[in-house]
Every structure is written in C-alpha cells, then in structure tokens.
C-alpha cells in the first residue's frame, strides 16, 4: 500500500470545492461564476493529473 500523499488530498479538496461552487453559481444564476468555476476545476484536475504523472515517472527512475 502506498503512503499518504497530502498533495493529492489538496487537489481533491480543491476540485470538490470547485464543483460545489458550480452548484452555488447555478443556483444564483451567475453565468460568469459558472464559467470561472469550470475553468478552475479543469485547471485543478489537470494540475493533479500532471503531478501524478510526474511522480510516477520519478518512481520509475
């Protein structure tokens, strides 16, 4: 079993917060907020996957 990695917990919490923000902005009918939250979600998930890929490559060497 792998050790606990707080970096991935941070990315997961941040992505969940972005998803919650999308729901809040939908309730408020704020198109600009929805768009910014979607962009933040994509950036957060992209950064998380890039970090995971980088860490896997580092383990191979």
Give pLDDT tens digits for 7-35: 999 999 999 999 999 999 999 999 999 99
pLDDT of residue 19: 98
The answer to whether residue 1 is domain-embedded is: no
pTM attached to this predicted model: 0.86
Domain extent for 33: 15-51
Q: Which residue has the higher pLDDT, 2 or 35?
A: 35
Checking if the pLDDT of 59 tops 90, the result is no
Of 25, 51, 12, 23, the residue nearest 59 (C-alpha)? 51
Q: How many structural domains compose the chain?
A: 1
The answer to whether residue 26 is domain-embedded is: yes
The answer to whether residue 58 is domain-embedded is: no
Of 34, 39, 50, the residue nearest 15 (C-alpha)? 39
């Amino acid at each position: 079993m792998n050790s606990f990695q707080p970096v991935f917990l941070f990315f997961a919490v941040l992505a969940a917060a972005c998803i919650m923000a999308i729901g809040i902005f939908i309730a408020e009918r704020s198109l600009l907020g929805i768009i910014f939250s979607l962009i933040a979600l994509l950036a957060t998930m992209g950064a998380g996957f890039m970090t995971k890929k980088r860490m896997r490559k580092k383990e191979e060497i």
